[in-house]
Amino acid sequence: MRTDLFDFHLPPENIALRPASPRDSARMLVVQDDGVLRDRLIGDLPDWLEPGDQLVVNDTKVIAAQLSGRRIGRDTEPKIEATLIKRLDGSRWQALVRPAKKLAAGDTIRFGNEGKVCLLGHLDASVEAKGAEGEVTLSFSFHGPALDQAIADLGRPPLPPYIAGKRAADERDADDYQTMFAAKEGAVAAPTAGLHFTPALEERLRARGIGLQRVTLHVGAGTFLPVKVEDTAGHRMHAEWGSLSAATAAALCEARAQGGRIVAVGTTSLRLLESAAAGDGTIAPFEGETSIFITPGYRFRAVDILLTNFHLPRSTLFMLVSAFSGLDTMKAAYAHAIAEGYRFYSYGDACLLFRRAEEEVRTP
């Protein structure tokens, strides 16, 4: 499909730089299966679900994956910014760096921050290999838990570029950019639909008889990358590691057999569920990497309802929601949201999408 089909204009003032407070006070645009739009709040979510429905949340935890340093060992020491995107083993990470042109294989980067103590005061990494689009393989001087602690001490939350370009990360982001479900470290971007939840909202959902299941998908930096090719067939998705336990798979299959619906909290949960589902919709245990790329025409097997934030133009995530609810419907929904002042992206508002019939979401 043509990538420009998924383009739209977003005024800069619609981009949220801070989350709503309290979290469940954010707005929620309900997109019904017939395309009708309703303006609601996240706190209204229990009213739109039924007893027996199962919410599926992503319990990944964002690491302090943004590191600042300088190249050492040559005549000049240019500043280097690195975002860790994938752990390769106990001492090596794949990272996105800038400016990549300042680095060559064999160079050493010293990450550190005067006034912060990280074991010996700094963290060195050698550039093992360079790839395309700023990707490098970094081999660190520490290993295992010592490296994890060093990254935690020296790193900062990897805010999306559309926020980081407008303000610096601060101490508030360390809490704001984690969901209340965060438990398993490994993500370099937050599963942002989960940011809207509070203990009080979870209590109300459970009181209504709605189940809550946890899965893990370590969100990668690829979620920030726009689709640069003219046709979606040429886009390469970054693989992300995920896990769905046997107990969770069994609980979801049982709920569906009894008429309950599966409600994915975020596109990350949806992508993992669809990766774990068989052709008949049966959800099986899953552990490994997924690079599933969902565009209009995809036949959904596992998910009935999707709670998700508002996404970037020409992004794989806007393509996904267009596959779920129909491209025309989502363009209308986003136009309504922009006109009504909804807040977009990671710290923004949400939409609750009810999946339309397969034949209604296909795009010529």
158-186 pLDDT, tens per residue?
888 778 788 888 888 989 999 999 999 88
77 and 71 in contact (C-beta within 8 Å)? Answer: yes
Q: Which of 225-234, 242-251, 315-324 has the lowest mean pLDDT?
A: 225-234
Q: What is the mean pLDDT of residues 281-293?
A: 95
Does the structure show a pLDDT above 90 at 278?
yes
Within this chain, do residues 130 and 255 fall inside the same structural domain, yes or no? no
User: In the predicted model, what is the mean pLDDT of residues 7-34?
Assistant: 96
- 313: preceding bond cis by omega (within 30 degrees): no
Structural domain of 97: 66-155
| First and final C-alpha spacing in the chain | 9
The whole-chain average pLDDT of the chain stands at 91
Residue 300 lies in a domain: yes
Q: Do both 283 and 203 map to the same domain?
A: yes
Is residue 116 over pLDDT 70? no
Is there a single domain that holds both residue 49 and residue 83? Answer: no
179 in the same domain as 51: yes
Do 119 and 212 sit in the same domain of this protein?
A: no
Which neighbouring-strand residues pair with 38? 30
Q: Which of 99, 125, 155 is the last residue of a domain?
A: 155
For residue 99, cis peptide bond before it (omega within 30 degrees of 0): yes
Q: State the pLDDT confidence band at 188, using cuts at 50, 70 and 90.
A: confident
Q: Which residues of 82-98 are buried (b: 16+ CB within 10 A; e: fewer)?
A: bbbbbbeeebbbbbbbe
Residue 358's pLDDT band (boundaries 50, 70, 90)?
low
Amino acid 208: pLDDT: 97
Pairwise pLDDT comparison (344 vs 359), residue with the higher score = 344
Q: Looking at residue 117, what is its pLDDT?
A: 43
Same domain, 184 and 322: yes
- Shared domain for 214 and 108, answered yes or no, is no
Q: What CATH code is carried by the domain that includes residue 89? A: 2.40.10.240
Is 167 among the domain residues? no
pLDDT for position 64:
87
Lowest mean pLDDT among 22-31, 217-226, 347-356: 217-226
Banded model confidence at residue 227, pLDDT cuts 50, 70, 90 = confident
Angstrom distance (rounded) from CA 160 to CA 77: 26
**Confidence label for 119 from pLDDT (cuts 50, 70 and 90):** very low
Of 221 and 162, more confident: 162
Tokens of 91: 């001492």
Among the listed residues 201, 239, 234, the one whose alpha carbon sits nearest the alpha carbon of residue 223: 239
Domain count, the chain: 2
Long-range CB contacts (within 8 A, 24+) of 87-94 = 87/186, 88/137, 90/143, 90/144, 90/147, 91/139, 91/140, 91/141, 91/142, 91/143, 91/144, 91/147, 92/128, 92/137, 92/138, 92/139, 92/140, 93/137, 93/138, 93/140, 94/135, 94/136, 94/137, 94/138
Is the separation of the CB atoms in 196 and 26 below 8 Å? yes
CA distance 86 to 240: 8
Q: Is residue 168 part of a domain?
A: no
Q: What pLDDT is stored for residue 82 in this prediction?
A: 93
